[in-house]
Amino acid sequence: MRVLVVDDERGLTRAVRRGLEAEGFAVDVAHDGETGLELATGTDYDAIVLDIMLPRRNGYDVVTALRERDVWTPVLLLSAKDGEHDVADGLDVGADDYLTKPFSFVVLVARLRALVRRPAGARPAVLTAGDLELDPSARTVTRAGQPVDLTAKELALLEYLMRHADRVVGKVELRDHVWDGTGEDLNVVEVYVGYLRRKLGRSAVTTVRGAGYRVAG
């Protein structure tokens, strides 16, 4: 999953970025609202973590501008304010969730995964495709009932493919959502698909020549 984190506390963003990347997310960072808005409107993110008190443009304004431009990426607002009116204001302008600082990283990850599932009713808590089963929260994978040990990036790649099991997913899309899309050669997708096939069996991920990959249904 590709996530945008917008916060002017650089120490916090570094820590959040490291933690999310360890969980298999691809992460972009912005430190002011204007830059965050530009990234959010120009890139297809799966979720946005957005501080309210930002330089150049505050979080409320960023969410309002996104919704006015028909950008419906799920937004999780962060704020040191915990008053009920602050929460209500954030949700009223179009945010999807609200987390107060200081926050638990475990809760942040759980909230993000919940946001990614929420837009489509076909996104269950546990993903299945054929005899593959993936639990994003527990970070476990089984095939035909047998557990399979995957690295964080392998799991992130498989999760993205399984969330889009109804179609063929191209290499560029996979690179942009599973990696950060910057400086990564498209060959990295082929390499990791190869890793998945070695661990799950060659039939788990099929190649559609000239188009991309899909998981076995």
pLDDT over 60 (residue 36): yes
Per-residue pLDDT at 123: 43
* Whether residue 39 sits in one domain with residue 90: yes
Per-residue pLDDT at 17: 95
- 94 pLDDT band, cuts 50/70/90, is confident
Backbone angles phi, psi at 135, to 5 degrees: -105, 100
* Residue whose structure tokens are 């889009």: 164
Residue 68 belongs to a domain: yes
State the CATH number of the domain containing residue 135: 1.10.10.10
CB 99 within 8 A of CB 111: yes
H or E stretch covering 133: strand 132-135
* Whether residue 113 sits in one domain with residue 12: yes
Per-residue pLDDT at 121: 39
State the CATH number of the domain containing residue 48: 3.40.50.2300
Q: pLDDT tens-digit profile of 177-212? A: 888 665 678 899 999 999 999 999 999 999 999 899
Of 93, 117, 141, which residue constitutes the final position of a domain?
117
Alpha helices in the chain (DSSP H): 10-22, 33-42, 59-68, 84-92, 105-117, 152-163, 171-178, 187-200
pLDDT over 70 (residue 159): yes
Q: Which two tokens stand for residue 215?
A: 């998981």
* Whether residue 103 sits in one domain with residue 79: yes
Per-residue pLDDT at 118: 66
End-to-end CA distance of the chain: 21
Q: Specify the range with the lowest mean pLDDT, choosing from 59-68, 120-129, 154-163.
A: 120-129
> pTM for the full model?
0.72
Domain that holds residue 32: 2-117
Task: Tell me the one-letter amino acid at 111.
Answer: R
* Whether residue 79 sits in one domain with residue 50: yes
* Whether residue 9 sits in one domain with residue 91: yes
CB 4 within 8 A of CB 36: yes
Of 67, 98, 117, which residue constitutes the final position of a domain?
117
* Whether residue 211 sits in one domain with residue 143: yes
* Whether residue 151 sits in one domain with residue 47: no
CB 98 within 8 A of CB 87: yes
Largest CA distance in the chain: 54
* Whether residue 100 sits in one domain with residue 10: yes
H or E stretch covering 9: none
Q: pLDDT tens-digit profile of 50-62? A: 999 999 999 999 9
Per-residue pLDDT at 125: 64
Domain count, the chain: 2
How far apart are alpha carbons 22 and 148 in whole angstroms? 18
Of 68, 84, 117, which residue constitutes the final position of a domain?
117
Percent of the chain scoring above 90 in pLDDT: 59
How many angstroms from the chain centroid is the CA of residue 165? 17
